Amino acid sequence: MTGSLPSAEELYAHLKHALSEKLRDTDPASTYLVGIYSGGAWLARRLCTDLNLPYQPGTLNTSLHRDDFSRIGLHSQVLPSQVPFEIEGSHIFLIDDILFTGRTIRAALNELYDYGRPASVRLGVLIDRGGRELPIAPDVCGGVLPLPRGRNYVLATDDALRFTLTMEEEVRHV
C-alpha cells in the first residue's frame, strides 16, 4: 500500500450502501447481521443503526475456534458469543472489519453452525487487505487495500461508533 489511506468513514459509507443493496435481495424477516468480535461487532452495531434494522446484531467470538489460536494467543478479555435470534433457516450476513487470511471467517462459520444451519451465509467487510490462505471472499466490501504481510491496519472506534484508519508503525530492525 503506497500513498495516503482513504478515510475509514468513506470505506464505511461504501460498505453501508453495498450492504443495503444486497439486503433488498433477501427476506427482511429472516435476515440478520452477525458481527465478529471485536472490530466486526462494533461495525455490525453501527450498520444496524444506520440501516434502521429492527434488531440487535449477533456477536461471534471466534477465539476458541481459530485453528491457530495458540499462535495468536487469547485476548485478555474474551467475551462470549451472543446470538439473540434463530439461526436455523435464516439468512446471515457475517460482518468483520478486516479480511486477511480468512481464518477468522472460517472459525466464525464453525461457531455459527453450533447455533443451527442457516439458509445462507454472506460476508461483508470494511477492508479486504488481501493475503488469503483459504478460499474465502467478501460479498460486499468497503474497499480493497492490499497490504504486505507484517504490516497492519489499525481501526479505532469512538463513542459514536465512528471509525478512523491508520497504519501500524513499521518495526525496523537495526
Ligand X SMILES: O=P(O)(O)OC[C@H]1O[C@H](OP(=O)(O)OP(=O)(O)O)[C@H](O)[C@@H]1O
The reply to whether 110 sits near ligand X by the rule CB under 6 A is: no
39-50 vs 8-23: helix crossing angle, rounded to 10? 60
Rounded distance between C-alpha atoms, residue 120 and residue 109, angstroms = 11
| CB proximity list for 23: less than 8 A, separation 6 or greater | 31, 51, 93
CA–CA separation, 42 and 97 (whole Å): 9
Is 46 near ligand X (CB under 6 A)?
Answer: no
The residue within the footprint of ligand X, chosen from 34, 36, 44, 121 (CB under 6 A), is 36
Three-state secondary-structure class, residue 44: helix
The sign of the CA dihedral 7, 8, 9, 12 is positive
Minimum separation from the CB atom of position 124 to ligand X (A): 13
Decide: is 48 part of the binding site for ligand X (CB under 6 A): no
Among 45, 91, 103, 122, binds ligand X (CB under 6 A): 103
Stretch that binds ligand X, among 25-33, 76-84, 100-108, 142-150 (CB under 6 A): 100-108
Position 96 contacts ligand X (CB under 6 A): yes
- The yes or no reply on residue 147 touching ligand X (CB under 6 A) is no
Residues that bind ligand X (CB under 6 A): 36, 38-39, 96-104
